[in-house]
Structure 1
Amino acid sequence: MNTKSANRTNSTETPVLKRPRGFAAMDPATQRRIASEGGRASHQSGRGHRFTSEEARAAGRKGGQASRGRGTQGTAAE
């Protein structure tokens, strides 16, 4: 008898639900607190970046230009 097939569940049995782990298992307030600590640390170390309004405008234009003219997926060189 194959042990791998013995461990599989039948379609009549209820599937085992996956429980969230790590960050996903935390409540939203704890997630927010930890994420903001990371953001603060990034800015204090000088690696954080804040867009000026002109930089944000330029980034928005780039994004709009990149998405224009694309057809449906899979129609490019196959």
Structure 2
Amino acid sequence: MIFRVALSELFTSDSLVLEAVSDLTPLLAISVLLNGIQPILSGVAVGSGWQALVAYVNLVCYYVIGLPVGCVLG
């Protein structure tokens, strides 16, 4: 997060894009962190014999929550 401006300047010089990248970098960092934890926890649950629960949780999270939120946020 400390290089968010410097890295974005490698790809664009547009001030509007630079500001958007700077504002959205913390959200991206949180998303990457949470997306790294999810497969680990799913693997632990599958290893514990909870395959059906993992399947239902993934279906609900991706299709019932994620797809509508993605459509709304565009």
Bigger fraction of residues in helix:
2
Same fold, judged at TM 0.5 (above): no
TM-score, normalised by the number of residues in structure 2: 0.30
Q: Which of 1 and 2 has greater Rg?
A: 1
